[in-house]
Structures are given as C-alpha cells and as structure tokens.
C-alpha cells in the first residue's frame, strides 16, 4: 500500500506493508506550485515509489491538511494547496490507475495511533497535535469521528478563556486552546519571559541573537534552564485544562499528544497530567492515560496507508 502525506510545504510518499514497515520513501516540495504542477509532482513521487517495489500496489491513501468531502472525494477549503473543489480522488485515481482514498491528515494520524501506536487497543481516543496550531483527531467506539459533514474534531478550537486572545489564522474566536497552548503560544510566552527577564536562559538566548521558537524553549528546558521549564509548565497547565475538558466530554481511555511541541515530553505532559487530576471529573480522570504520540513526522503518511488498507478490505467485504 502507498501512503501520501500531502502537505502545503512538502509531500512524503511511502510504500507501507501490513506490518507498518516502510519499504521506500519519496520526498517532494509542494509550496507555491499551481494545480497542474502539483498533480504532476504527486504522480511522479508515487511512480518513483512504485518502481522501487518488487510487488504490486493495491491502492494509494492521501492525508491532506484540509476539510475533505469523503463522499465525493474532494478537498474542500484547502487553504495551502491549489486543489480546492477539484475531484481529487477521481482525478488521481485515473492518473495513477489505482484506487485512491483521501482523508484529513489529523484523521489519519489518530487512525494510525489507535491501530498501531500510543492508543493501540483503545476504543475511545482523543488526539491533539501541537504544532503552529493545534489539530485534533477523534476515535469513537473504534472508528474515526468526522462529524455530520466531515468538519468535526476541530479540537484546537475549543474556547478555554472566553475573553482570551484572538485565535490564529481564519478562526474568528477568542481564547481557543490553540490561542493559548499551541507552539505559537509557547514561542510568544517564551519571548515575553526573555524580554522581561534578561538574565534568564531565555533572556540570554534572545540577547545572543537567537530566535525564540518552541524548539529553542525545548532545547533549553532539556538542558535544565529554569525559565524555559517554567514556560513549558505554563503551556502544559493550559493544555491540561483543555485535556480535562475532553476527558469530561469523551471519557476516553487514552489522550494522545503529538506534533512538534511534544519533543518537550514530560516537561509538558507532567503539568498537563497534574491539571487533569485537579480539574476533571471522577471516574474518567482516574482511568485516562495521557501519552505522547508514537508516530511523529510520518504519522500522516503511515495513517494514509492504514486508511487505504482498511477501505480496500471494506470494499472486498461489501
């Protein structure tokens, strides 16, 4: 099976077997190209992977960071990709001569975590991916939850501070979890500390000309810097408020935290867990596990392949 993580900046194509081993990978850039170029790039990368294999490919799965109409196989509202309203599934299937399945990238990420990763065996899973923003994926009774029109599980856009800061990008809301606990919020809080406390580790990094990013905060925190650890604890505590909400709403067995920010590990998760223990309701709070994702940058590609496996199996059964 071939999985494709079709991002707005780059795409990753992988040949994945039923044990989730990756046999060949192809990388391409996708930023700034038009629709015809993008389709050519995808076909080229998939063809490279097919040719590297000595077995036939049954289908190709795509994870795409946008709202997907699964009935029609169309990527709706694709902000960073020139494929909006294109019948992507059918066009790609014709170009490749293979069955094609498509879904939102967060949906396929939670799918692979629930089938093979940190939430394996759990029937009810909440996943939050902390990057620039906060993405969300839900598994309900063993199946990915998409909502009535596929727009569900926007888990980063839950208000936890009614009169809080304006949320990011096209979100019109204020005080969303994304606005206060994402990678952007982490960098913003770190910059605030760096400016207010020039003698802190963050302050010295700023004075030394370094850009204050989430990755830098994590690096300094792992080196033992107090100011960086405090900022991670602040973000982790806010994250915990959001997780406590989802624990009360879903009573899940597992909450999986992925995305780049999870590089901070327990420096982020321990304050989050402590907050859930203080704020969420019994018995849900005592039962839930809050764990880092198993699959990082490859979760979209792997999840897209898992989706393709499952949909092909379902078609054969039907």
Cβ–Cβ < 8 Å for 163, 127: no
Compute the least distance from the CB of residue 279 to a second copy, in Å: 4
Given 51, 282, 317, 318, the residue binding a second copy (CB under 8 A): 282
Instruction: Decide: residue 149, CB within 10 A, 0-12 exposed, 13-18 middle, 19+ buried.
Output: exposed
Interface with a second copy in residues 113-142 (CB under 8 A): 122-124, 136, 140-141
- Cα distance between residue 190 and residue 203, in whole Å: 9
- Cα distance between residue 101 and residue 192, in whole Å: 44
Q: Pick between residue 14 and residue 136 the one whose CB is nearest to a second copy.
A: 136
Compute the least distance from the CB of residue 182 to a second copy, in Å: 15
138's enclosing H/E stretch is strand 134-140
Q: Is 313 in the site for a second copy (CB under 8 A)?
A: no
Given 97, 121, 172, 208, the residue binding a second copy (CB under 8 A): 172
Closest CA to 243 of 292, 278, 210, 276: 276
Determine the 3-state secondary structure of 128 from DSSP: strand
Compute the least distance from the CB of residue 202 to a second copy, in Å: 23
Given 280, 302, 307, 308, the residue binding a second copy (CB under 8 A): 280
- Cα distance between residue 208 and residue 210, in whole Å: 6
Determine the 3-state secondary structure of 152 from DSSP: coil
- Cα distance between residue 35 and residue 39, in whole Å: 6
Give φ, ψ of 24 to 5 degrees: -160, 145
Q: Is 308 in the site for a second copy (CB under 8 A)?
A: no
Interface with a second copy in residues 179-238 (CB under 8 A): 238
Given 14, 128, 186, 250, the residue binding a second copy (CB under 8 A): 250
Given 151, 215, 274, 312, the residue binding a second copy (CB under 8 A): 151
Q: Is 147 in the site for a second copy (CB under 8 A)?
A: yes
| Count, residues in the chain | 318
Closest CA to 92 of 80, 66, 74: 74
Stretch that binds a second copy, among 3-11, 198-206, 279-287, 295-303 (CB under 8 A): 279-287
Q: Is 154 in the site for a second copy (CB under 8 A)?
A: yes
With contacts defined by CB under 8 A, how many residues of the chain interact with a second copy?
49
Q: Is 248 in the site for a second copy (CB under 8 A)?
A: yes
Compute the least distance from the CB of residue 201 to a second copy, in Å: 27
Measure CA 13 to chain center. Answer: 17
The residues binding a second copy (CB under 8 A) are 67, 76-77, 122-124, 136, 140-141, 145-155, 157-163, 171-174, 238, 241, 244-245, 248-253, 278-284, 287
């Amino acid at each position: 099976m071939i999985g494709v993580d079709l991002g707005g900046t780059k795409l990753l194509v992988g040949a994945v077997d039923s044990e989730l081993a990756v046999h060949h990978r192809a990388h391409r850039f996708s930023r700034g190209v038009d629709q015809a170029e993008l389709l050519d790039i995808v076909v080229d990368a998939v063809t490279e992977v097919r040719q590297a294999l000595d077995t036939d490919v049954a289908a190709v799965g795509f994870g795409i960071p946008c709202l997907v109409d699964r009935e029609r196989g169309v990527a709706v509202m694709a902000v960073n990709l020139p494929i909006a309203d294109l019948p992507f599934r059918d066009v790609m299937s014709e170009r490749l001569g293979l069955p094609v399945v498509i879904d939102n990238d967060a949906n396929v990420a939670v799918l692979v975590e629930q089938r093979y990763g940190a939430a394996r065996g759990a029937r009810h899973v909440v996943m939050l991916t902390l990057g620039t923003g906060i993405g969300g994926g839900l598994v309900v009774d063993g199946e990915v939850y998409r909502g009535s029109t596929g727009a569900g599980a926007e888990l980063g856009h839950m208000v936890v501070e009614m009169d809080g800061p304006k949320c990011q990008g096209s979100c019109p809301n204020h005080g969303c979890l994304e606005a206060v606990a994402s990678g952007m919020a982490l960098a913003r809080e770190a910059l605030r500390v760096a400016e207010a406390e020039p003698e802190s580790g963050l302050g010295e990094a700023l004075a030394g000309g370094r850009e204050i990013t989430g990755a830098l905060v994590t690096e300094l925190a792992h080196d033992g810097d107090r100011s960086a650890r405090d900022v991670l604890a602040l973000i982790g505590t806010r994250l915990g408020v959001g997780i406590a909400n989802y624990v009360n709403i879903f009573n899940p067995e597992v909450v999986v935290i992925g995305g780049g920010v999870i590089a901070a590990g327990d420096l982020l998760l321990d304050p989050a867990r402590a907050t859930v223990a203080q704020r969420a309701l019994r018995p849900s709070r005592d039962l839930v596990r809050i764990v880092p994702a198993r699959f990082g940058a490859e979760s979209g590609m792997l999840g897209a392949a898992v989706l393709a496996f499952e949909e092909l199996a379902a078609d054969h059964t039907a």
